[in-house]
Amino acid sequence: MMPPAYRLRISSLLGLICGFLTALVAQAKIQFDVFPGFDSIARGGAWFPVVIEVFNDGTSFDGVIELGQSQFSGVPQRFAVELPQNTRKRLLLPAFSGSQGVLMLDARLLDKDGKVRAENLGQRVTQLGWENFLLGAAPQTFAGMPTFPDIQGRNAEFQPRPVRMAIGQGMETFPDNPIVLSSLNAIYLNSAKALELKETQIEALLAWLHAGGHLIVAIDQTTDVTATAWLRDVLPVTVDGVSTRSIGAALATWLATGNSAGDARNLQFAGQCPPVPMANRGALGIPDVYKDKETDVNFGKSTMPVANFKQRTGEVLVSVEGVPLIVSAHKGRGLVTAVAFNPERDPVKGWTHRSWFWARLSGVPRDLLGRADYNAWGGRGIDGVFGSMIETRQVQKLPVGVLLVLLLVYLVVIGPLDQWWLKKINRPMLTWITFPSYVVLFSLLIYYIGFRLRAGNSEWNEMHVVDVYPRAGDAVLRGYSFGSVYSPANNSYRVAVEADTGMFRPEFQGFWGNAGSGARIAVQTKSRGFEAEMDVPVWTSQLGVAEWNEPGLSPIAAKWDGKELVIANRRQASMTNVTVIRGLRMYRIGSIAGGEETRVDFQGNGDSYVDFARNWNTDFNRVAGRRTEVFGGGDQDAPIDNWGDAAIAASFTQHVAGGDNSSRQFIWPPTFDLTPNADRGDLIILAYLPGDSVLPAMNRFSALRQAKGTLVRLVLPAAR
């Protein structure tokens, strides 16, 4: 018989084994699904959503979701999540596409100790060309998804794409983040799905719209509009009942005039990344892609239920018997297009030219539909220009010629000179002493040179570009914040932004064989904004870029009656470099003291804002190119010191970049460039705040040297 002591030990051991196995089973019961991109599609050089679904059937724990890119040293982003037992959570997280071609996304679920509890690696994301057209769609049915014409022979990277964004039904992929939505050129929303949008999604959609998006709303039932307050407010029409009308002939006629001059004006909106290299190709005589389409006889005679529109504002694009079918109006910097019928139903659903109808309604550029041979490559990020403005001036770069001379002297000393000298004194065995001595001597020399050139104090500089979107209450501020830290030692620096929506990324250097800057940044997203840790090697600087949205008091106000403009500075500090763009002309106002206002009567011709922007091309290309080089450039690497004028020029990057061939010069974030606003006749006000910012400073560390500045941009839409 087994002694009691042995039985106790065995039972204890079995208990430990069972407990260990139970813990393993409990830990293993985690479902971790990842759905990256808009239908697994992202735009190069822009943000995209990542939907994470976690089902925890094991013990409760506090987790962290980490996102990174497989094929690059990528910047990990971390998001805290609470996972109680037997719960399912769906999260929509932002990620940045810093490469071109195919991106591989890695997602991991960590516990509070940093242990990997689940992972989903190598998720494929297909990336579109930066210039391409991306339509987000929330149709009533899956079969009602919009389609675009398939351009035979077209590089898939530049084929216009519609992508589905699900609302409700347990598969929520419609983003609630306006910065993520900025990657979309247009959004189609069926009124039946508008009822299912959550408040955060509505706020994100409206912020995206005011920032320059194109919202297309098709009416399924009139009660969808009357029961939805935000939809009633945003539409340029009122809805009064339904009638059955013959619409085929009117739509076919409208489609055939798709390349009219008015079409470009009516469907233009600010959020679209313009296809820069194609802008000049339009003058080469691209055929009218909408003409000479075979007539669809049955469609021309078709009838369907149509909502009775009464126009409130905007312009009627299509009408039947005096009743509007499609009405488009500007909303903030964006555009709203109301469609009186449901295009997901017959006869529109079965129309032969349905894909061309969607292309025109969405505003797809003609060049993307008419040229199968289009291609583009390269391009530097506009981040590099702002990085040059705020980069430390403490560092001096050694010219390449001096480095080559040092290398040549080193090779001569350790080779021929050492051999000649030892041979002359007849002591060749001393090379075991002289050779290491030379290495140590030159190492100390190089360190001393580096110290003299680069040693300095810790430094933090930041430059903000803030767009003001007037809304009910006061305004919504949309910011691009560039922060540069210089470190005199190997160190880690914490930065943060507290805003309604805030994201952080490293410098985007562009597509010239480089995916991002390679900076080591760890981002922790919070309920308001973010916190990030930037690892900076000794004697170097790193640039980080924050993008954020925040309701708040506008730093600038303006009144425009069509003749005289009144600009008020609502800050205590003075505004400098105040500039107004009207048409093709720019008017330099100068300074406005804090709390004061000035009047602009537009007397005189003003200067060409296009020429002003183009004059910065050489400097922008020089400084952006230098940031990707390993060695310094001596006097040729002179930085940009005029922050105000440089930021104004960067606001019209399309003109700075030019675009006379298929190679890109610059790439900028969607909605950053104000050229489309100037083209459609909006009044643009720009003012620089030296030494000031509308949000608290991003740095959460002490720096011995600091500088900051803010460019405020306000757009007054042209009357329609």
The string of pLDDT tens digits covering residues 623-639 is 888 876 654 444 445 77
Provide the CATH number for the domain formed by 129-370 in this structure: 3.40.50
Residues 653-658: what's their mean pLDDT?
85
Amino acid at 30: I
Give residues with Cβ within 8 angstroms of 499, minimum separation 6.
479, 528, 529, 548, 549, 550, 695
Q: What pLDDT, on a 0 to 100 scale, did the predictor assign at position 5? A: 54
Peptide bond into 470 cis (omega under 30): no
Give residues with Cβ within 8 angstroms of 406, minimum separation 6.
442, 445, 446
pTM here?
A: 0.86
Q: What pLDDT, on a 0 to 100 scale, did the predictor assign at position 473? A: 67
- Please tell me the distance from the alpha carbon of residue 490 to that of residue 209, in angstroms, as a whole number: 43
Secondary structure letter of residue 518 according to DSSP:
-
pLDDT range class, residue 397, cuts 50, 70, 90:
low
Give residues with Cβ within 8 angstroms of 690, minimum separation 6.
573, 574, 576, 643, 644, 709
- For residue 276, pLDDT over 50 is answered with no
- Please tell me the distance from the alpha carbon of residue 518 to that of residue 526, in angstroms, as a whole number: 24
- Please tell me the distance from the alpha carbon of residue 476 to that of residue 554, in angstroms, as a whole number: 8
Provide the CATH number for the domain formed by 29-122 in this structure: 2.60.40.10
Q: What pLDDT, on a 0 to 100 scale, did the predictor assign at position 483? A: 95
Encoded tokens for 491: 């160190």
pLDDT range class, residue 2, cuts 50, 70, 90:
low
- Please tell me the distance from the alpha carbon of residue 642 to that of residue 669, in angstroms, as a whole number: 22
pLDDT range class, residue 278, cuts 50, 70, 90:
very low
Whether the CB-CB separation of 338 and 349 falls below 8 Å is answered with: no
Q: What pLDDT, on a 0 to 100 scale, did the predictor assign at position 425? A: 83
- For residue 282, pLDDT over 50 is answered with no
Secondary structure letter of residue 383 according to DSSP:
H
Residues 242-248: what's their mean pLDDT?
93
Task: Locate the domains of the chain by residue range.
Answer: 29-122, 129-370, 383-391+458-716, 400-454
- SS3 of residue 583 by DSSP: coil
- Please tell me the distance from the alpha carbon of residue 162 to that of residue 185, in angstroms, as a whole number: 10
Q: What pLDDT, on a 0 to 100 scale, did the predictor assign at position 19? A: 54
- For residue 155, pLDDT over 90 is answered with no
Q: Give the least confident one: 415-429, 468-482, 619-633, 685-699.
A: 619-633
43 versus 261: the higher-pLDDT residue is 43
438 versus 620: the higher-pLDDT residue is 620
Q: What pLDDT, on a 0 to 100 scale, did the predictor assign at position 549? A: 93
- Please tell me the distance from the alpha carbon of residue 208 to that of residue 33, in angstroms, as a whole number: 28
**Mean pLDDT of all residues in the chain?**
84
Instruction: Look at the block and give the residue holding tokens 């983040």.
Output: 177
Among 26, 96, 219, residue whose Cα is nearest residue 519 = 96
Among 350, 394, 401, 280, residue whose Cα is nearest residue 662 = 280
Taking residue 502's Cβ as centre, other Cβ atoms within 10 Å add up to 26
Amino acid at 527: S
pLDDT range class, residue 71, cuts 50, 70, 90:
low
- Please tell me the distance from the alpha carbon of residue 545 to that of residue 512, in angstroms, as a whole number: 20
Total number of residues shown for the chain: 720
Percent of the chain at pLDDT > 90 equals 46
- For residue 403, pLDDT over 80 is answered with no
Cα-only R_g, the chain = 30
Encoded tokens for 323: 């009743």
- Please tell me the distance from the alpha carbon of residue 98 to that of residue 213, in angstroms, as a whole number: 22
Q: Give the least confident one: 34-48, 148-162, 278-292.
A: 278-292
Mark out the alpha helices in 315-398 (DSSP H runs). Answer: 354-362, 366-370, 383-390
Q: What pLDDT, on a 0 to 100 scale, did the predictor assign at position 9? A: 54
Q: Give the least confident one: 511-525, 577-591, 641-655.
A: 511-525
Residue 413 CB-half CA count within 13 A: 15
Among 627, 623, 644, residue whose Cα is nearest residue 687 = 644
- For residue 59, pLDDT over 90 is answered with no
Q: What pLDDT, on a 0 to 100 scale, did the predictor assign at position 626? A: 80
- Cα–Cα distances in angstroms (integers) from residue 608 to residues 66, 237, 583, 659, 712, in the given order: 48, 38, 9, 19, 21
Q: What pLDDT, on a 0 to 100 scale, did the predictor assign at position 281? A: 39
